[in-house]
Amino acid sequence: MGNYKFILSGGGTGGHIYPAVAIANELKRRHPSAEFLFVGAKDRMEMEKVPNAGYKIEGLWISGLQRKLTLKNLMFPFKLISSLIKAGGIVKRFKPDVVIGTGGFASGPLLKRASGMGVPCVLQEQNSFAGITNKLLAGKSKKICVAYDGMEHFFPLDKIVKTGNPVREDLVTMAATQVEALSFFELDTIKPTLVVLGGSLGARRINQLIEKELRFFKELGIQLVWQCGKLYYEEYKKYQSNDVKVFDFLNRMDFAYAAANFVISRAGAGSVSELCIVGKPVIYIPSPNVAEDHQTKNAMALVEKEAALMVKESDLASQFESVFSALFKDEEKQKELRVNSKKMAMPNATSDIVDEIEKLLKK
């Protein structure tokens, strides 16, 4: 056995693409002769990222509904019909044993057609508040792998398996020491280090905050690893100094996490899962511009368990300095956040998800 065929679909953001690639890599490790096909949305980042990871991908003409009346919304019915037709053709031609959806526009039409043809489907929901695509697909899916408690509000309880979210392998086995990481960034090995993460493209509001607070951090004697994102690098690289290292993108996340005494981050599902594994004191600043405000809900799931702090974008001007100062001065609080976030970590997520997929293969 082992000549299995898998279709994976997830995209639009790295938060959907990365888990799909991690699941494919683990399936390939267990079944080296298996065949893989990814299905994404044309013109989205998966069309570049998936081939870079070594997998074939086909694109559907699909996008999400906008919140206001736009030409794109008027096109949506045509895109949906086109995508359903193309997805049906892909499933018929490829004949997958299992289809795996990790969220994003393209997974809707693909899993709808696959389940309608009797192909077993597995969903992987990264967030604490389920996305609309996965909610619509839940009824026809065999298993739904989730990362948070309380997901029976969105999905049938008998289909839910709590696995956590796939994270980078190098974080699970993280071997880098803080001294090694600080020398990599050419930083002082004595000073406390703040790592700022705004996602691969960057987060405008977080960057504005860090720019405004540079003097405040200097007064506290803190040095920074500041990942400002590709969109903002030209604007912020002027702050590069002995104590402030500015990056468009961090290729060595294991070093970034190892260097950190404190982290400021968005609350995307992937970032939250990684930060729980590395167990650092984190202040989350959720993006308010995401569907169903799911980043705030992700952060709150940790805040409620004393595993992180959160400041909303709208409260940054009034609250940030007092929240950060209090954390900086309170070593007991730092320890509490480290311990409690590690308790929420699920480092075996990828393997556990693939175990669920293999149960369907045996049937």
> What is the predicted pLDDT for the residue at 322?
97
Residue with tokens 């995401």: 290
Where in the chain is CATH 3.40.50.2000?
5-166+348-362, 170-343
User: pLDDT tens digit string along 275-328?
Assistant: 999 999 999 999 988 777 889 999 999 999 999 999 999 999 999 999 999 999
Q: Which of 58-72, 120-134, 139-153, 329-343 has the lowest mean pLDDT?
A: 58-72
For residue 155, what is the DSSP state? S
Burial 105-118 (b: 16+ CB within 10 A, else e): bbbbbbbbbbbeee
* pLDDT value of position 67: 53
Query: Please, what CATH class does the domain formed by 5-166+348-362 belong to?
Result: alpha beta
Q: What local confidence, expressed as pLDDT, does residue 293 receive?
A: 85
User: Is 126 labelled as part of a ligand binding site?
Assistant: no
Instruction: Output DSSP code: residue 79.
Output: H
What distance in Å separates the CA atoms of residue 84 and residue 60, rounded to the nearest whole number? Answer: 9
pLDDT of residue 48: 87
What would the two tokens of residue 358 be? 């293999």
CA distance 61 to 205: 32
pLDDT of 100: 97
Spatial separation of the C-alpha atoms in residues 148 and 301, rounded to whole Å? 8
d(CA 219, CA 327): 15
CA distances from 202 to 13, 85, 229, 234 (A): 13, 36, 4, 12
- pLDDT value of residue 69: 61
**Mean pLDDT, rounded, of the chain:** 91
The pLDDT value recorded for residue 63 is 67
Residue type, 314: S
> Once rounded to an integer, what is the mean pLDDT over residues 180-204?
92
What pLDDT is attached to residue 1? 53
Question: Would the pTM of this model clear 0.75, i.e. be above it?
Answer: yes
168 is in an annotated binding site: yes
- Which residue, chain included where needed, has tokens 């992987």? 124
66 pLDDT exceeds 60? Answer: no
pLDDT, tens digit, 9 for 90 and up, residues 256-266: 999 999 999 99
Look at residue 72 in the predicted model and tell me its pLDDT: 67
What angle, 0 to 180 degrees and rounded to 10, lies between the N-to-C axes of helices 269-278 and 331-343?
110
Mean pLDDT of 126-134: 87
Listed range (53-57, 106-110, 152-156, 180-184) with the worst mean pLDDT: 106-110
Whether domain 170-343 has CATH 3.40.50.2000: the reply is: yes
Does 64 appear as a known binding residue? no
More confident residue, 123 or 45: 123
Q: Which residues of 257-294 are buried (b: 16+ CB within 10 A; e: fewer)?
A: bbbbbbbbbbbbbbbbbbbbbbbbbbbbbbbeebeeeb
Q: 139 a known binding residue? A: no
Q: Report whether 127 belongs to an annotated binding site.
A: yes
Q: Which residues contact 263 (CB under 8 A, 6 or more apart)?
A: 194, 195, 196, 197, 257, 275, 280, 281, 282, 283
Write down the pLDDT at residue 132.
83
Above 90 in pLDDT, residue 138? yes
Query: What is the structure's pLDDT at 319?
Result: 97
> What is the token pair recorded at 268?
């995307």
- Mean pLDDT, to the nearest integer, of 42-62? 86
User: Measuring CA to CA, how many Å separate 329 from each of 209, 304, 335?
Assistant: 20, 22, 12
- 361 within 8 A of 98, measured Cβ to Cβ: yes
pLDDT of residue 64: 61
Contact criterion met (CB below 8 Å) for 301 and 128 = yes
Burial 6-44 (b: 16+ CB within 10 A, else e): bbbbbbbbbbbbbbbbbbbbbbbeebeebbbbbbbbeeb
Question: Is 322 labeled as ligand-binding?
Answer: no
How far are the Cα atoms of 34, 146, 350 from residue 1, in angstroms, in the given order?
9, 29, 22
pLDDT band at 242 (very low <50, low <70, confident <90, very high): very high
Q: How confident is the model at residue 73 (pLDDT cuts 50, 70, 90)?
A: low
Segment 124-130 shows an average pLDDT of: 90
For 313, which DSSP code? G
Distances (CA, A) of 265 to 31, 46, 200, 311: 36, 23, 12, 10
At residue 332 the predicted structure's pLDDT band, cuts being 50, 70 and 90, is: very high
> Cα angle vertex 59, ends 165, 105, to 5°?
50
The DSSP output letter for 232 is T
Window from 62-66, 278-282, 334-338 with minimum mean pLDDT: 62-66
Q: Is 52 marked within a binding site?
A: no
How far from 260 is each of 206, 271, 316, CA to CA, in Å?
17, 14, 21
* DSSP secondary structure code for residue 142 in this structure: S
Handedness of CA 260, 264, 269, 272 (dihedral sign): positive
Query: Which pLDDT value is given to residue 255?
Result: 94
Quote the percentage of the chain above a pLDDT of 90.
69
- State which of 10-14, 104-108, 220-224, 295-299 shows the largest mean pLDDT: 220-224
